Structure 1
Amino acid sequence: MKETQKIEFTNNRNCEQIKYFLFAFLFLGLMIFCILGIYTVAAPRWTQIAYSRLDWETFGGIYEYPKTQPYTLDYFIPLIAGIYILIGLIFTLFLKKKVKKQNIHGLLKVFTLLGIIITSVVGTGGIVLGAPEMEFYAYNAGPYLTWGTEGNITQDPTSGITICWHSKFNTPSQVKYGNAPDNLDKLAVSSGIGRFHQVPMNELESNTTYYYKISGFKIKQFRTAPFGRFDYSCYLWADPRTNNGYDSAIEETNMPKIISEHAKEDGIDMAFSICAGDITARGVDYKTWKLWLNDISTNDFTSNYSHAVAIGNHERHDDTGAVNFPNYYPYQDKKDVHFSYSFDYGRVHFSILDRWNTSDPWYGGTGYAQAEWLEQDLIEHADTDFKILVMHNNPIITNEHHGDCSLIMNVAESQGIDVIFCGHTHAYQTYDFSGGYLDPGSYDQMVMMIGIGGNRDNLCYNGYCRIDINETAISLKPRLACDESHFEEFIIT
């Protein structure tokens, strides 16, 4: 009887078909996982145009392949593998029940073992490869201060500030604050729970020191601006995107740290700072944003003092719509003029111009909309003592790398702009409005290109400009990181 029931697996046609089917099922699964794996390593993303991880080293030098968020496909491969194997096991059990007399226990064991191996390998690989990727999304950075915008209105530095930070986990946007570090009796909140936080604070007292505390950070402080006209010093630099590599420590020397140390040595109470763009290598890449936030948090550079940013072309690198930029900065994207805004601080009106226009989304000539916005902005603030324009590209150099800025220069001359600060070219130079080079001295108007805010290969070529403002003049004092004092001075009257 036993011999009658025993059927050799290899001689049974039905079992042979089942065996071939299941091995084909396994082979197909392995091929699918291989294709998915190759895709996650080499394929361009939907946020990219021309690059893949394999050719990124060729195009991007030291930077890794950019990412905007954890890719669903990367982390769902283990789940896909598990579901695939589960379906195979269920189908095998169904066949075992269907073909009652055929012995397919051996094949079932083999299939189960292969399923466990595949799921384990793919799952472990997903965790191992995914952990480093997730690490740079989960971090605390900041806090940093700026003045937010809504439409054409920017927060008044005498009565408002916006506190921003990035949290490791999704948390509420809440800030405790008050007039003493041991008396944080007020609460400012912003709706929603997330990792990107922007909490505007308004109706503050002018010329007043406030202390504030965010969960996960130490107590910080800031001071609102006084009313009226007063003397002060601020700092400006540009193009810090090349400052550090991905493995740089937070404490590594960078321009904010250098400026903080120089200000302390010189006995300067910094009012605020401005960066003229290219604060990150690629606007689409969260890693380079993390580096920027680490830099400006050094020595509480922007935790205790506000700062403003003029968006550069690299903030739009593979992110021409600047989708990431508003995650970090509370600047509203306005039709045609985008992230252009302005504010008054004491005797000076600052116009921050976004030069990007949709007709030429890489470097771009400035469009009529930006020129009209700037002209109207300056007309509305004609009564200020001085006017400073900050933009990323150099308006004097006109070529395919900078675009045409003749419209802006026409407005600058007609509306009496005193100083134009810019970067983009990683060099230092000064010009008059006609494009001639300027030696140190006293002038009515000038352009300063200060695109030396980050050079990790030679720190001594890093530089910035200190701006001293008094009743009669603006003093511009450019300085290199290794210099004991500023190397020249320009006076604007």
Structure 2
Amino acid sequence: MLAFRLHLLTALLLAAPAAAQNLPWSADFEDGSLEGWTPRDDTYFGAPIRSGPGWWTVEDGVLRQTSNIWVGDPPLEFEIHLGTHIAAGNPAWTDYALNVDVRSDDNDGIGVVFRYQDPLNYYRLMLVDDAVNGGPVQKLERRRDGRITVLAEDRSGPAYPSGWFTLTVDVRGDSIRAYQNGTLRFAVQDTSAAALTSGRIGMAVYANTGAHFDHVAVTAEAVVRTAPAPPPPTVRTPYLQQATPTSILIAWQTATETTGTVEYGPTRDLGFRVETGAPAYRHAVTLDGLTPNTTYYYRVLSGSEVFYPITPFRTAKTRAEPRLRMLVFGDSGTDTPPQHAIAALMTEKAHADFGIHVGDVSQYSGEEYDRIFFQPYADLVSRTPIYPSIGNHDTYYDDAATYLDVFYLPHNNPQQTERYYSFDYGPVHAIALDTNIGFTPGTPQYEWFVSDLQSAAAREATWRFVYFHHPPYCQAWSGWAGELNVRRHLMPLFEQYGVDVVFNGHTHAYERGSLNGVTYVITGGGGGGLDDYGRDVPHIDVTVLAHHYTLVEIDGPVLELAAFGTDATEIDRFVLTKTGTAAEPEAGGPDDAFALTALYPNPLGAGVPLTLTFQVPAPTPVTVTLYDALGRRLAPLADATYPAGTHTLSWTPPAHLAAGLYLLRLQHGTETSVRPVMLAR
């Protein structure tokens, strides 16, 4: 098996020592066991251990470490890069080559140990990519009696690539040679009195929650692996895509090349079948000629064997159907207990017609979607079509190429891309955008977005939804306050074309608010680590720092939205009722309701007074307050009870106020509205 594996990896054979050391030795973790492996958390002369303990497991034939453990506080932490390690093998091994396939879904430390004698005495090859934590750096180190000596290091570029790569260390006498994907990184001789001459092998991690190791091989020969072993195709059970009233696409993936068949029908007796054709790993079949809003049953065959049992699905509703249930979730792809808890709740309780995902389908780098999407949601996606949008993490590995490859999404735009698209489902017209690429005026996405908002499909829909990853504002996440270009370029379009609800993620929390007739919902609690509370934003009414999913129920002109936590507890609920189309304002006007009748000039120049005119129908307490873009209160403009009639306020910005976007909050009785104001200098 080892020779076969090394042949597949195009091994490079160097010198071949004759000393017998009970080698070769290998571990591929296919039995799911850690027998023979000893995990140990690092220590360093009394320095505190943070976020421990280490957590080593074997999952799907891969050794993983998922704790964020590190040792010490800065600056010591960023010098020693200690966390946890695991060792195996024979302490009598002296001269050998160690090859390991490695993958990091985090950007912190990952590496190997060799000539390992005990937790305080070994050599280590450590790679750290995070610039905030002392990277990027590749380091070859000796640890002797706990002290760390750097034998060689390289800070010239990224410490490691995305996806799987291979690390090799070859030790012969006092010579140490370290390779990455077959390229020599370090060649040193340790002739000091502290040199280590024998010991076991292992893997090491610093603050890395996404460390993966596989295909460990120790040989007496100087074997240098030039590439990681190609992973076998992962079995991917059926998932539904591109649902329409008369068709649906069913996709799946098999571990071997085989023909595929979908048997389907309006009853469990099935009766119809569609075959995929030539043998393949990946399969996709479109069922046509179906009846709208109708339950069908299907099963999938691999060759002549049942690959997936009989499962129901329902065709999409037509515009005439007033009722609908829609799932919304995001920032989910972590393969952690919170994600699995939310997945189970959505599968068991939501019973949605379809779902949308607001991005970061992968919370890692977007290099794979089986472990973090298709497996956690296997039951859900086999009967409910999910329409995702692209998050920033989905782009890190290959600019979302893997994401675009695994999903079968609409591409109704001139560019024929699935990065942004729209679709109709019952009374809803939904538009998915990609805020990781250009979306400002003049870009293809912006021009398409405007044309789609102007389309008959959008204008004739009872409800218009837009969803994408980056929200314009957020109260959670102290390190980020929202996407400025969304505020500048997309929010005016939402208001102009009557978008009802905008759904976002990126912020790992639940938030809801309303601004200028548009409801904004952040539902980024699908599994990623939760954010902290960062600031007050005037138009955001609800913020809950909790893992959750969101369920939208529509019945004609009434929309009810509820969010549920991991224990199925309801964390928010609100109702939105339409009294006309988005282009037709609700009944009432200046004579019977509060109205802001003028706000000028806007943008506002230096030293130029801002004039605000409003009208109240009866004596009403009115407050007018200026906030910055981060939601910080800057200046009160008014706080009094005004008699019925029209009133004008004037305010001149002070000279110290920087140019940029500001928010004017008007509170009248129990109602609140917010208007953006641009200040130019």
- In which range does the TM-score fall when normalised by the shorter chain? 0.5 to 0.7
Partner residue of 1:471 out of 541, 552, 556? 556
Give the Cα separation in 2 of the matches to 1:122 and 1:285. 33
Letter in structure 2 aligned against 1:372: E
Q: Given that residues 509 and 547 in structure 2 are in contact (C-alpha distance below 8 angstroms), is that contact kept between their aligned partners in structure 1?
A: no
CA deviation after TM superposition for structure 1 residue 420, in Å: 0.1
Give the Cα separation in 1 of the matches to 2:437 and 2:326. 29
- Please show how residues 155-174 of structure 1 align to structure 2 within 5 Å: 157-174=244-261
1:421 alignment partner in structure 2: 503
Any idea what SS the aligned residue of 1:388 has? strand
Q: Find out whether 1:255 has 2:342 as its counterpart.
A: yes
CA displacement 1:3-61 (0-9 Å, x = unmatched) = xxxxxxxxxxxxxxxxxxxxxx996567xxxxx978966899xxx99998643686899
Q: Given that residues 144 and 296 in structure 1 are in contact (C-alpha distance below 8 angstroms), is that contact kept between their aligned partners in structure 2?
A: no
Any idea what SS the aligned residue of 1:487 has? strand
- Please show how residues 212-361 of structure 1 align to structure 2 within 5 Å: 212-215=298-301, 216-227=307-318, 228-244=320-336, 253-263=340-350, 269-286=351-368, 288-297=369-378, 300-320=379-399, 322-331=400-409, 335=415, 339-357=419-437
Change (3 A) 1:41 1:305: closer
CA deviation after TM superposition for structure 1 residue 338, in Å: 5.0
Any idea what SS the aligned residue of 2:493 has? helix
Q: Given that residues 16 and 221 in structure 2 are in contact (C-alpha distance below 8 angstroms), is that contact kept between their aligned partners in structure 1?
A: no
Letter in structure 1 aligned against 2:491: M
Structure 1 gaps of 5+ residues are 1-24, 31-35, 75-117, 148-154, 264-268, 359-363, 435-443
Letter in structure 1 aligned against 2:371: K
Give the Cα separation in 1 of the matches to 2:330 and 2:267. 34
Give the Cα separation in 2 of the matches to 1:125 and 1:391. 45
Letter in structure 1 aligned against 2:505: G
1:390 alignment partner in structure 2: 467
Q: Given that residues 280 and 289 in structure 1 are in contact (C-alpha distance below 8 angstroms), is that contact kept between their aligned partners in structure 2?
A: no
Greater Cα offset, 328-337 or 349-358: 328-337
Letter in structure 1 aligned against 2:314: R
Q: Find out whether 1:139 has 2:234 as its counterpart.
A: yes
2:679 alignment partner in structure 1: none
CA deviation after TM superposition for structure 1 residue 412, in Å: 0.9
Give the Cα separation in 2 of the matches to 1:278 and 1:236. 13
Structure 2 gaps of 5+ residues are 1-11, 18-95, 112-125, 134-159, 169-216, 302-306, 532-544, 579-681
Change (3 A) 1:67 1:181: farther
Give the Cα separation in 2 of the matches to 1:26 and 1:271. 57
CA displacement 1:331-356 (0-9 Å, x = unmatched) = 36763965111111111111111222
Q: Find out whether 1:447 has 2:534 as its counterpart.
A: no
CA displacement 1:124-181 (0-9 Å, x = unmatched) = 998xx95xx74xx44322211121xxxxxxx5x2012111222222233432222222
- Please show how residues 68-87 of structure 1 align to structure 2 within 5 Å: none
1:109 alignment partner in structure 2: none
Any idea what SS the aligned residue of 1:142 has? strand
Letter in structure 2 aligned against 1:447: Y
Give the Cα separation in 2 of the matches to 1:485 and 1:430. 14
Any idea what SS the aligned residue of 2:512 has? strand
Q: Given that residues 342 and 350 in structure 1 are in contact (C-alpha distance below 8 angstroms), is that contact kept between their aligned partners in structure 2?
A: yes
Any idea what SS the aligned residue of 1:290 has? helix
- Please show how residues 369-408 of structure 1 align to structure 2 within 5 Å: 369-380=444-455, 381=457, 382-396=459-473, 402=483, 404-405=485-486, 406-408=488-490
Q: Given that residues 295 and 315 in structure 2 are in contact (C-alpha distance below 8 angstroms), is that contact kept between their aligned partners in structure 1?
A: yes
Give the Cα separation in 1 of the matches to 2:489 and 2:235. 42
Give the Cα separation in 1 of the matches to 2:238 and 2:377. 9
CA deviation after TM superposition for structure 1 residue 197, in Å: 2.7
CA displacement 1:377-416 (0-9 Å, x = unmatched) = 1211211111011111113369697452121112111111
Give the Cα separation in 1 of the matches to 2:251 and 2:377. 12
Give the Cα separation in 2 of the matches to 1:339 and 1:388. 17
Letter in structure 2 aligned against 1:232: L
Change (3 A) 1:163 1:412: same
Q: Given that residues 283 and 324 in structure 1 are in contact (C-alpha distance below 8 angstroms), is that contact kept between their aligned partners in structure 2?
A: no
Q: Given that residues 337 and 370 in structure 1 are in contact (C-alpha distance below 8 angstroms), is that contact kept between their aligned partners in structure 2?
A: no
Letter in structure 2 aligned against 1:260: T
Please state which structure has a larger fraction of its residues in helix: 1
Give the Cα separation in 1 of the matches to 2:336 and 2:402. 20
Letter in structure 2 aligned against 1:431: G
Letter in structure 1 aligned against 2:512: T
Q: Given that residues 452 and 463 in structure 1 are in contact (C-alpha distance below 8 angstroms), is that contact kept between their aligned partners in structure 2?
A: yes
Q: Given that residues 107 and 129 in structure 2 are in contact (C-alpha distance below 8 angstroms), is that contact kept between their aligned partners in structure 1?
A: no
- Please show how residues 47-86 of structure 1 align to structure 2 within 5 Å: 54-55=126-127
1:18 alignment partner in structure 2: none
Give the Cα separation in 2 of the matches to 1:59 and 1:289. 29
Q: Given that residues 107 and 128 in structure 2 are in contact (C-alpha distance below 8 angstroms), is that contact kept between their aligned partners in structure 1?
A: no
Task: Determine which structure has greater relative contact order: mean sequence separation of CA pairs < 8 Å that are 6+ residues apart, divided by chain length.
Answer: 1
Give the Cα separation in 2 of the matches to 1:414 and 1:447. 15
Please state which structure has a larger fraction of its residues in strand: 2
Give the Cα separation in 2 of the matches to 1:261 and 1:469. 20
Partner residue of 1:207 out of 255, 270, 293? 293
